[in-house]
Amino acid sequence: MDAMEQLYQQVILDHARAPHGRGLPADAPGTTAVATVGHDTCSGQSHQVNTTCGDEVTLRVDVDLSGEQPVVRDVRWEGSGCSISQASISVLHDLVTGADLETVGAVSTTFRALLGTRGAGLDDEAAEDLLGDANAFTGVGKFPARIKCALLGWAALTDALILAGVPGTPAEATR
Amino acid sequence: MTTAARTGLTDVELAAVRADFPILDRTLRGGRRLVYLDSGATAQKPQVVIDAEQDFYERRNAAVHRGAHQLAEEATEAFEQARAVVASFVGADTDELVWTSNSTSAINLVAYALSNATAGRGGAAARRFALAPGDEICVTVAEHHANLVPWQELAARTGAVLRWIDVDEQGRLRLDQLAEQVTERTKVLAFTHASNVTGAITPVAPFVARAREVGALTVLDASQSVPHLPVDLHALGVDFAAFTGHKMLGPTGVGALYGRRELLADLPPVTTGGSMVEVVTMESATYAPPPQRFEAGTQMVAQAIGMAAAADYLSELGMDAVYAHENHLAALLLAAVEPIEGVRVIGPTDTVDRLATVSVVVDGVHAHDVGQVLDDAGVAVRVGHHCAQPVHRRFGAVSTTRASASVYTSEQDVAAFGEALAGVRAFFGAEVR
């Protein structure tokens, strides 16, 4: 498989073609960053821009606080970008929706680690199980200019969770 | 200026030019030939430029304008000779050329000097540069951020109002808006000589004429024109102009601000410190005449000498021939793009007064993805907004894919671009967004 095929895996092209979680709720306040806190829910919304190309994402995360562990109830987003960024947000939606925050933190950290392997992969079965479709982004690591594309949505998620002020927000708030 | 003759360089001449650029010999991943079509971002360097910088460090390096030893004399002479060469290259007098680190810093220098004049610096002579609340600064939609954001900031600092001139559907500046947007209150009219996105070359005369009618200063962003066409700043009649070394085959880290002599003479300094003063006491300082007044601190000597070597190289080829060659490439680029389904040019589709800078939107495929496919074919282009978001927004695009040529660009380069671009939509499937 050449580098281009490794970069543009079918999984990525499929997600880019029909991304999941797209479309903000009707009451979402434009592209501004906001946090709302209810009795047993909270939510945060973040707007991120890739300064290289002007790509944007506005991502809103709703967290359910009623159980023992905070759980992501929904991730909705709107934005424009390249196939890598759009597919990455789509995969993010699938991986994060319904997950508890500890898992969200682990997925986010592992995904960033994967992109740092320059295309080699993590060579770790547990990590591969955790990442699911996100394993398709292994090849992005070979193209340093594209890593930012793959991280656009994840940066928005981290920021939105911090804004939401969820107890136990993943501490690795690096972008 | 009109559409140039078919070619400005013969095949033999072009082959000789290409042989002057060592980087064109290298290969890329998979042994692919380098097809460099990102000269609008930065140009490649001929051996004479690389040698000029190296020679300075090997044989003449010393601090300029200080020291009485032989090396200091030789370094100073080389530095000032470089100023004369670059000034002459753009039709300016030597003392009208201020070294800056690039175009951005040249434009900021003017904006901050006006700011300082507004704050009362520079005394009575500088009062004519002061802006008052309600005064106006006029720019255009086609500007690079470097010739837009400094004026937004100046407006914010002074209470001036920012206005702008639009482009038409072909990306040409709307000359019909000059009368309306440039008013009796306009103090500055800042505009590009050639757009780094559309490739359109601005007819300068009507801008200068309108600015003179209302007594506004003209600031020309010549970053994209100086490398590609004959530029005579005296003949154009602008008050200030900015251009940069690295886009005109020279080094990074050096650029220039041109200012009309009588304006520079009255303009207060911006960056202060060593080398730009006459007498310094503990309380105050008096300032050197231009251009030194605007050149505080140690200057980029080797780079200035390299920039002069680049100007000499271009002069030897002849800027008429350079423009003719590149205008021919513009025609080829447009012809290569035109038949590809789902590809739209942002900019003029004719070659009159046009650079070989062609930006396109590929329907259903993001510019980053387009660039990736082109890169896989060895074709280096720019993707994104090219530091010019407003003109992209004007055409409903977030980003574009831009091919930009230079004097060393060949017909084969253009053909390789066209071939790679034609395969993009198939690679992704046209409906991908």
CA dist., res. B423 & res. B381, Å (int):
15
CB contact under 8 A, B428 and A13: yes
Structure confidence at residue A166 (pLDDT): 78
CA-nearest residue of chain A to B374? A4
CA dist., res. A67 & res. B264, Å (int):
71
Structure confidence at residue B1 (pLDDT): 41
Structure confidence at residue B7 (pLDDT): 58
Q: B65 and A39 in contact (C-beta within 8 Å)? A: no
Q: Which domain holds residue A45?
A: 3-22+38-164
**Closest Cα of chain A to B345: distance in Å?**
18
- Residue A105 falls in which region: left (phi positive, over 0), alpha (psi -120 to 50) or beta: alpha
CATH number, domain with residue A15: 3.90.1010.10
Structure confidence at residue A171 (pLDDT): 46
Determine how β-strand B136-140 pairs with β-strand B35-36: unpaired
Residue A12 within any structural domain of the chain: yes
Q: B279 and B115 in contact (C-beta within 8 Å)? A: no
Q: What are the backbone dihedrals phi and psi of residue B99, each rounded to the nearest 5 degrees, phi first?
A: -75, 135
User: A2: pLDDT confidence band, cut at 50, 70 and 90?
Assistant: confident
CA-nearest residue of chain B to A140? B372
Q: B207 and B174 in contact (C-beta within 8 Å)? A: no
For residue A167, say if its preceding peptide bond is cis, omega within 30 degrees of 0.
no
Residue A28 within any structural domain of the chain: no
Residue A103 within any structural domain of the chain: yes
Task: Please report the domains of chain B, with CATH numbers, ordered by start residue.
Answer: 11-44+318-428 (3.90.1150.10), 51-315 (3.40.640.10)
**Closest Cα of chain A to B304: distance in Å?**
29
Structure confidence at residue B99 (pLDDT): 98
CB contact under 8 A, A7 and B372: yes
Element (H, E) at B411: helix B411-422
B166 by Cβ neighbours in 10 Å (0-12 / 13-18 / 19+) ranks as middle
Closest CA to A24 of A160, A149, A171, A173: A160
Residue A29 within any structural domain of the chain: no
CA dist., res. B163 & res. B154, Å (int):
13
DSSP helix/strand/coil, B421: helix
Residue B421 half-sphere exposure toward CB, CA atoms < 13 A: 34
Structure confidence at residue A122 (pLDDT): 94
Q: Number of structural domains, chain A? A: 1
Tell how far CA A165 is from the center of its chain. Answer: 18
Least confident of A59-63, A127-131, A164-168, B2-6: B2-6
Task: Kindly report the average pLDDT of chain B as a whole number.
Answer: 96
**Closest Cα of chain B to A137: distance in Å?**
15
CA-nearest residue of chain B to A87? B433
Average pLDDT of A81-88? 94
Residue A72 within any structural domain of the chain: yes
CA dist., res. B178 & res. B172, Å (int):
13
pLDDT digits over B38-90, tens only? 999 999 999 999 999 999 999 999 999 988 899 999 999 999 999 999 999 99
- Measured between CB atoms, does B423 come within 8 Å of chain A? no
CB contact under 8 A, A82 and B368: yes
pLDDT digits over B105-132, tens only? 999 999 999 999 999 999 999 999 999 9
Structure confidence at residue B231 (pLDDT): 98
pLDDT digits over B361-378, tens only? 999 999 999 999 999 999
Which residues of B are part of the catalytic machinery? 387
Average pLDDT of A94-110? 96
CA dist., res. B108 & res. B254, Å (int):
14
Average pLDDT of B398-417? 97
CA dist., res. B245 & res. B366, Å (int):
31
Six-digit token string for A115: 């992109």
Residue A171 within any structural domain of the chain: no
- Concatenating the DSSP letter of every residue in B90-156 gives TT--GGGEEEESSHHHHHHHHHHHHHHHHTTTTTGGGGGG---TT-EEEEETT--GGGTHHHHHHHH
CB contact under 8 A, A149 and B368: yes
Q: Could you tell me how many helices (H) and strands (E) chain A has, helices first?
A: 6, 4
Structure confidence at residue A52 (pLDDT): 77
